[in-house]
Amino acid sequence: MNKSDTLNETGISAPVRRVDAMEKLTGKARYISDYPFEGLLHARLLRSDRPRAKILGIEVPDLPAGYSYVDARDIPAGGRNGIRMITDDWPVFARDEVRFVGETLGLVVGPDREKVLEILSGIRVTYEELEPAFTIEEGLACKGGPIVGDDNLYGTYHLTKGDPEAAFRRAARVVEGTYRTGFQEHLYLEPQGMVGTWEDGKITLYASAQCPFYIRKSVAHTLGIPEPAVRVRQVTTGGAFGGKEHFPDVIATVLSVAVNKIRRPIRLVFERAEDIRFTCKRHPSRVTIRTALDEAGAIIGMDIDTVINAGGYTSSSLIVLQRAILHGIGVYNIPNVHIRGRAVATNTFPSDAFRGFGAPQGLFAIELHMSHLARELGMDPGSFKQKYFIKTGDTTITNTAMKDEIRLNEMFRKVDAMSGYRRKVKAYDDDPLKGIGIAFVNHGCGFTGNGEQEIIKAVAEMERLSDGRAALYVSTVEMGQGLQTVLRKIAARELDCGVDNIVYDNPDTDRVPDSGPTVASRSTMVVGYLVQQCARELKRRWGEGPGTRVRKQYRHPEGLTWDQDTLQGDAYPSYGWGVNVVEVAFDPVTYEVKTTGIWTVYDVGVPMDTRIVTGQAAGGGIQALGYAAMEVCEVVDGRFRQHTLTDYTIPTAMDFPSVACEFVENPYAYGPFGAKGAGELVFDAAAPAYADAVGHLIGRKIHEIPVTPEKIMEVLQDE
């Protein structure tokens, strides 16, 4: 059987119609705002409108009957005014000081939406303003005094491979560049929303969210009650991209304090402008790379300094930073490297998870830097990068052998055949109106290091039902990526039945085990593998009759090592690999750059459904091109200047051409049917490929995204 057969004809990769397609297409699927609740109350957050200030007082007017104001005083004894994420430094309700515009001060709750807004506008908050720091530079300089510690850093990491100091001492030449990326808003089409109720004697939350058990943990922590005393039910979720990983904890904790006090159903759904202004974004980054070259122009060492703007509280920033530096030398084998990574505190809204989780920032810098080096050395970026591809057995940045089987050369050949890269990259050198760019990436699947084993300990269960079908019990959610179709396919194939015979309901923490959060490109690879193991055992034990239930817990693959304190060892159990080529054309009058081609090739092990993964590749690619070309998000006086869809513009159907996507099959031993992660990998390469293409087009170096027409004009005028 040749590869295209296994991908498309008879194998697991053959596309099926998504199980959620019809209910979504007919408008029957119910999202959080679509559910009726008896006696529903509406809620609005009272938020700080200062980026950094002492709170001197909050004056709440007398409230009409049936309306409540909820704040930190309503947290029950034994509870904590902290949102339990990785740490709990982010308070549920601001303490004595606010650190960013939009920090929660209180919550107004009542039956009439308009009245709630009227009450909100009558609350007077008085502040003593302090000097804020907004940018990475201001944060590093501790402008206004440190926000945290004495250096304003949430954390600093170092990775060292080989002897970079010696490499720089013997360098014939050093090339340096600084690369910057901006904030990016997730812009899931469904804004953040949740309903909290008091049901059967416990707090119950209906949530548009990625991680039901994260919410349960944070609510239990805030209320000071055991986790099983909280129930979280995920409802159909209208997009997330990381934006509904930890941010729902911010809503859930406030809402739970209110429900605990009022004991009625309360809905907190953000309007769009609220959602853009007052939710987490992708971390802005500044990465400086210095490369030591020998006399022949070969790379002998790199020194990389990575800083991300973490904002007012930690959230997931340290884990994001780890991923940024662990992807800091991309797909290359560089003999001597030092990377320093820092997450700096500023008075902006805390930055948090967004598809890629730090990897896109790290990869953007290394990919553009490699392209710049290629140009300096008179080579085309594709050929130059290929010389440094890491191979199986080479030493990684974390000083262990790369264990993946690597197919980058084959992927390069494939993308070249699709795009004509090698021919065009030379031809366009002399064409003032055309440019072409290339980027190679990898993306570590699952949690960093031994996180799956030490922190998550995922469990999945399956049960034979009385009607002859089989139920799947997992906590990973459908948020658009196709998870419920993929997991059902995996189970159905093992049980030798149709996908309709596998039941998957939206996770409910009272009914499913904790198989971990829906993050980190782990759901198919890690949870899907557990589902496969469950289905195999259930098939063996099918004869035991209805009610037979099987349970499988994650086990780390043999032979992997990790030291979390030093970040040494196998940083990820496996990697997805990708290459993107982007072609652009130029209008010299308007400075408008038009994208004329996007070609992608991915190694995701074995795709669990070629159409679903191709859909991820198209969506991830266009989202990344928005990041690279369009999505400007500036902070002015601590506020996001762009906060409507009119000024925070995401790609429409007219902005980019279609995305060509092909796969190389490369089965992974510990993934279901050989699958690895895919959801984030498909975001990583398009932005650096686009910036490389624009650089090629204008014959200048691009160092920063988004590359807007104004930026292009600046670059052209500077030189």
Partner 1 sequence: MNEFNFTLNGKAVTYRGDPLKRLLDVLREDFGLTGAKEGCGEGECGACAALLDGAMVNTCLVPVGVVAGREVTTIEGIAGTKEGQDIIEALADAGAVQCGFCTPGMVVAAASLLRGNPRPTETEIREAISGNLCRCTGYDMIVSGIRAAAKRGRRSW
Of 96 and 114, which CB lies nearer to partner 1 in the complex structure? 114
- 21 scored as a contact of partner 1 (CB under 8 A): yes
Q: Find the part of the chain contacting partner 1 (CB under 8 A) among 158-166, 181-189, 445-453, 501-509.
A: 181-189
Of 8, 31, 155, 585, the residue at the interface with partner 1 (CB under 8 A) is: 31
Residues paired with 47 in a beta bridge: 104
CB neighbour class for 569 (10 Å; exposed up to 12, middle 13-18, buried from 19): middle
Element (H, E) at 690: helix 686-698
Of 314 and 616, which CB lies nearer to partner 1 in the complex structure? 616
Residues paired with 579 in a beta bridge: 440, 601
Of 69, 100, 188, 599, the residue at the interface with partner 1 (CB under 8 A) is: 188
Which of these, 203, 58, 204, 78, lies nearest to 120 by C-alpha position? 58
Map the footprint of partner 1 across residues 466-485, applying CB under 8 A. Answer: 479-482
Of 656, 668, 673, 690, the residue at the interface with partner 1 (CB under 8 A) is: 656
Which of these, 535, 530, 455, lies nearest to 497 by C-alpha position? 535
Which of these, 447, 576, 448, 414, lies nearest to 516 by C-alpha position? 447
Least separation in angstroms between residue 296's CB and partner 1 is 42
Least separation in angstroms between residue 614's CB and partner 1 is 7
- Distance between CA atoms of 296 and 37, rounded to whole angstroms? 71
Q: What is the DSSP string of 309-361?
A: EEESS-TTHHHHHHHHHHTTTTTB--SSEEEEEEEEE-SSPPP---TTTTHHH
Total chain residues near partner 1 (CB under 8 A): 56
- Distance between CA atoms of 573 and 555, rounded to whole angstroms? 11
Of 291 and 484, which CB lies nearer to partner 1 in the complex structure? 484
Of 9, 22, 224, 498, the residue at the interface with partner 1 (CB under 8 A) is: 22
Of 236, 315, 532, 642, the residue at the interface with partner 1 (CB under 8 A) is: 236
Map the footprint of partner 1 across residues 479-538, applying CB under 8 A. Answer: 479-482
Which of these, 550, 516, 546, lies nearest to 534 by C-alpha position? 550
CB neighbour class for 397 (10 Å; exposed up to 12, middle 13-18, buried from 19): buried
- 39 scored as a contact of partner 1 (CB under 8 A): no
- 451 scored as a contact of partner 1 (CB under 8 A): no
Q: Find the part of the chain contacting partner 1 (CB under 8 A) among 235-243, 510-518, 565-573, 628-636.
A: 235-243
Write out the two tokens for 57. Answer: 């007082």
Q: Find the part of the chain contacting partner 1 (CB under 8 A) among 2-10, 185-193, 495-503, 557-565.
A: 185-193
- 638 scored as a contact of partner 1 (CB under 8 A): no
One character per residue 584-623, x = contact with partner 1 (rule: CB under 8 A)? ---------------------------xx-xx--xxxxxx
Of 2, 121, 466, 646, the residue at the interface with partner 1 (CB under 8 A) is: 646
Of 3, 14, 33, 386, the residue at the interface with partner 1 (CB under 8 A) is: 33
Of 117, 401, 433, 645, the residue at the interface with partner 1 (CB under 8 A) is: 645
User: Which residue type occupies 41?
Assistant: L
Least separation in angstroms between residue 281's CB and partner 1 is 14
Of 604 and 622, which CB lies nearer to partner 1 in the complex structure? 622
Least separation in angstroms between residue 28's CB and partner 1 is 7
Q: Find the part of the chain contacting partner 1 (CB under 8 A) among 13-21, 172-180, 215-223, 342-350.
A: 13-21
Of 350 and 482, which CB lies nearer to partner 1 in the complex structure? 482
* DSSP three-state, residue 171: coil
User: Which residue type occupies 87?
Assistant: T
Q: What is the DSSP letter of 184?
A: B
* DSSP three-state, residue 61: coil
Cβ-contact 354, 243 below 8 angstroms = yes
Q: What is the DSSP string of 547-614?
A: T-EEEEE--PPTT--EETTTTEE-SSS-EEEEEEEEEEEEETTTTEEEEEEEEEEEE-BS-S-HHHHH
- 340 scored as a contact of partner 1 (CB under 8 A): no
- 270 scored as a contact of partner 1 (CB under 8 A): no
Least separation in angstroms between residue 238's CB and partner 1 is 3
User: Inter-axis angle of helices 528-540 and 483-495, to 10 degrees?
Assistant: 30
Of 374 and 612, which CB lies nearer to partner 1 in the complex structure? 612
Least separation in angstroms between residue 617's CB and partner 1 is 8
CB neighbour class for 466 (10 Å; exposed up to 12, middle 13-18, buried from 19): exposed
Cβ-contact 45, 86 below 8 angstroms = no
Of 4, 637, 652, 716, the residue at the interface with partner 1 (CB under 8 A) is: 652
**Contacts to partner 1 by CB under 8 A:** 15, 17-18, 20-31, 33-34, 186-191, 236-241, 271-272, 479-482, 611-612, 614-615, 618-623, 644-646, 650-654, 656, 658-659
